[in-house]
Amino acid sequence: MNGEIILRMKNISKSFPGVQALKNVSFDLKKGEVHALVGENGAGKSTLMKVLGGVHLADEGEIEINGVPVEITSPRDALDHNISVIHQEFNLVPTLNVYENVFLGKELIKKTTRSIDRKLMREKTKELLESLGLTIIGTNYDIPVRNLSVAQQQLVEIAKALFNETSILVMDEPTSVLTSKETEILFELINKFKEEGMAIVYISHRLEEVITISDRITVLRDGELITTMDNSDKNVSKDEIVAHMIGRNIEDYYPDRSADKINDDVVLEVKNLTAKGVFDNVSFNVRKGEILGFAGLVGAGRTEIMKAIFGDHHYNSGEVILDGVSKRIRSTTEAIKEGIVLVPEDRKQEGLVLLMTLADNISLPNTDKITSLGTVRRRKKTSLANEFVEKLTIRPPMINRPIQNFSGGNQQKTVIAKWLATNPKLIILDEPTRGVDVGAKSEIYSLVNDLTKAGVGIVFVSSELPELLGVCDRILVVHEGRITGEFRKEEATEEKILRAAAGMEN
């Protein structure tokens, strides 16, 4: 029975306005196997699983379960076919407790009074979790799940999936919130499920884990299936996977900065910057032409520190010194005037006005350059937009098209373009390549590199360690609002950064 193909997704294509998320992808799954799905952000992994889970409807393609073609047009359909998906963002109701969440939609009813049988639900939940050896929830079955730790919440999600008879289990980034000990427990569970014949799709960025747990590894890139590798001996090389993910040699991916001599001139110096409860005593400097990286866990406070420098977040004490002169920047307008600009974390919510066109967005902080006699001159606006569309190879070069119709990578380039037009001294980039395709990522790295040649200082905030290690000259690590580590490029390693990010001594 194990080894039989239970699921076939054939020639699946799916597009959204501005982006082709999946192109003709075929994916199959065997009973009793763990099949990993890897790829960069935006490669299509989540989209493919959302098609399987009934959240999105594919534009083209078919799905077969046990050799029989099926139509999955809603999450209900997926559940009826015994497909359970554990999403990256949990689907728990924070105000309900453990067993209420586990039985959500399938509540057990007392036959006599037709009311909800809480006692029975609680018992069955307890039974299941204990049978799996999961005692980490302790006796907390009655408290709202929002009071549980993230790891405990994940287990509730898994229990939920198991109460639904599951033949196909999809786990999307299951370990991103777990410690290594908790991950071990999860892996034991997964192995148990395998033995029982469950077929598991495992999506993750953590390649070492993927190599440990999976039997086959499929790589997606820019919506296409690149390859499916056999990993039954658990010895596929990480470099091989990465090479497939980025589609080129890793040496060519990040620009070579060894030849660049960084000036000693400091463009930005931050001294003891403190915002109560958010960040504490943050001090660092950025030199002209330097790329300074900021690593840290989600919620460590990096974005807040950057916004404070940009005039969009208050701080109680500390100094911001630009080109040797101490400045009190109280608004973004002032920051921009001083030459400090920020490419925000969430380009759709913070970086762009989606209703407006490409040209409008580039014009927004640059109205002084395109206005004469109080009027915005269309010709100047057009030529400004075209100048940067060319410089940054924004595709398609239609400046009067609404920006929401462009792909993530081109949208991001637009945000960068609008700032370049202001001739900044310092550019802060917060997660600049999130949700950007591989090609555009590489272009952004080159662009950043070129900017440093012109003497611009760059602050690069990112949660992708390989990116930080490849792009930055120096990396600072933030943990709970404090700087806990500083590493030069030559001495930095993923492990050192992770330890500092978790607040551990190095």
Partner 1 sequence: MFANSKSINTTRTQEYFKFVFRLKETRLFLFLLVMVAIMAVLRPDTFFTSQNLFNILRQVSLITIVAVSQTYVIISGGIDLSVGFSLGLCGIIISYLLDAGFNPVLSILAGITASVLIGFVNSLVITLVKLPPFIVTIGMAYIARGLAFVITEGFTIRVTNQFVSGIANEYVGPIPVMTIIMLVIVVIFSYILSSTPFGMKTKAVGGNIVAARLSGINTTRHRILVHTLGGLLCGIAGLLMIGRLNAGNPNAGMNYDVDSIAATVVGGTSMTGGEGSILGTLLGAVLLGVIRNALVLLKVSMYWQTVVAGSIILLVCSVDNLTNKDRK
Q: Which is nearer to partner 1, 42 or 344 (CB)?
A: 344
In degrees and rounded to multiples of 5, residue 490 shows phi and psi of -65, -30
Closest to 183 measured CA to CA, from 208, 163, 219: 208
In angstroms, the Cα distances linking 165 to 86, 161, 197, 341 are 14, 8, 12, 52
Q: How far is the CB of 130 from partner 1 (least distance, A)?
A: 46
CA dihedral 14, 19, 21, 24 (to 10 degrees): 60
Residue 12 is encoded by which pair of tokens?
A: 């699946």
In degrees and rounded to multiples of 5, residue 345 shows phi and psi of -60, -45
CA distance linking residue 483 with residue 503, whole number of Å = 10
Q: How far is the CB of 196 from partner 1 (least distance, A)?
A: 42
Residue 496 is encoded by which pair of tokens?
A: 């050192």
CA distance linking residue 459 with residue 321, whole number of Å = 15
Q: Which is nearer to partner 1, 167 or 363 (CB)?
A: 363
Is 424 in contact with 340 (CB distance < 8 Å)? yes
CA distance linking residue 22 with residue 47, whole number of Å = 8
Residue 478 has, within 13 A of its CA and on its CB side, a CA count of 28
Q: Which is nearer to partner 1, 89 or 368 (CB)?
A: 368
Q: How far is the CB of 88 from partner 1 (least distance, A)?
A: 23
List residues near partner 1 by CB under 8 A: 17, 310, 312, 331-333, 335-336, 342, 344, 349-356, 360, 363-365, 367-368, 371, 374-376, 378, 382, 397-400, 402, 405, 418
Q: Which is nearer to partner 1, 247 or 365 (CB)?
A: 365
Q: How far is the CB of 381 from partner 1 (least distance, A)?
A: 9
Q: Which is nearer to partner 1, 37 or 399 (CB)?
A: 399
CB neighbours (10 Å) of residue 226?
A: 17
Q: Which is nearer to partner 1, 54 or 351 (CB)?
A: 351
Q: Which is nearer to partner 1, 219 or 329 (CB)?
A: 329
Q: Which is nearer to partner 1, 55 or 136 (CB)?
A: 55
Q: How far is the CB of 429 from partner 1 (least distance, A)?
A: 13
Q: How far is the CB of 455 from partner 1 (least distance, A)?
A: 22
CB neighbours (10 Å) of residue 503?
A: 14
What residue has token string 């493919």? Answer: 48
Residue 258 CA from chain centroid, whole number: 29
Q: How far is the CB of 363 from partner 1 (least distance, A)?
A: 7
Is 283 in contact with 483 (CB distance < 8 Å)? yes
Amino acid symbol at 103: F
Q: How far is the CB of 339 from partner 1 (least distance, A)?
A: 12
